[in-house]
Structure 1
Amino acid sequence: MEKRYVEYTNMLKEKELKSTPQRVAMLGILEQKGHADIEDIYSEIKKEFVSISLATVYKNINTLLEAGIIQEIKVPHKKSKFELKKHKHSHFVCEKCGNVYDVEQPKSIDIELPEGFKPKETSLMLSGICPKCH
C-alpha cells in the first residue's frame, strides 16, 4: 500500500491538488472496488475517517472529476459510479445486480453524423445480464 500511497500522492500533485489523507483513501477505494457509487465510497471511507461527512466525499469526488483523475460512469436508471481514469475502454452493466464491468473498446464505431458535427469523445455502454446472474 505504501507504493500506491506514493503513486496517489504524485497523481494529485501532478494536477496541483493537495494530497489529503481522505483523497488518497478515496483513490485507494476506487482502485480496490473498480467501480463505486458515492454511497459505497462513503461507507468505506467512514471506516478510516469516522467523522468525514457525505458532503466532504461529494466535494472531493467533484474535485477529482474536474482534475481528470477519476471519471463518472452514468448508469441508466441507477446511481452514477466512479472509477480511476485509465486506458480507453467501454462498460457493461448488469441489469440484475447493477455491477459495472470494463470491456475493451471497439477499434472503431461507424456512426454517420450530420455535417458539421465534430465528436470529441466516444463512450459505449452495454447492458444485459452478467455471468454471475445468468
Structure 2
Amino acid sequence: MWWTYALLSAVFAALTAIFAKIGIKNVNPDLATAIRTVVILLIAWGIVLFKGSGRQAHDLTQQNWTFLLLFGCATGLSWIFYFKALQLGEVSQVAPVDKLSVAIAIILSAIFLGEPLTIKTVLGAGLIIGGTFVLIF
C-alpha cells in the first residue's frame, strides 16, 4: 500500500512543478513560498481537526519536536530554492535535478539511519545521479 501513496506523492509533486512555474512568474520566491505555506497550513490543520488527531500533540517528545522543526526548516528552504530554480530554468530540467534528493536521501539514510545499501538501491541512486548530470550538462 505504501507505493500507492508514494505514487500519488509523485503525481502531486509533478503537478506542483507545473503549477509553481506558472504561478511564480514575476513573483519573489520567498513570497511564493510564504503563500504556499499558508495553503498547506490550512489544509494540514483542516485534516488534523477533521480527524481529531490534534490531541496527540501532547504525546510528542522533545526529539519529535526538534526533528519536526528541522523538517519544517528544510522543507521551507527546499521550496525557496526550488522556486528560484524554476524562475531561472525549465521545469523539464529543474524537476529532475530536484529529484536528486532521492539519491541523497538513500545515501544519508545509510549513514545516519543505518539502512542497508543493496545492489538495487545503489544502482538506482547511481542512475538518478547519472541522469541528473545528463540534464545539467
TM-score category of the 2 structures, normalised to the smaller one: under 0.3
TM-score (structure 1 length as normaliser): 0.27
Select the structure that is richer in helix.
2
Q: Which has the higher contact order (CA 8 A, sep 6+)?
A: 2
Select the structure that is richer in strand.
1
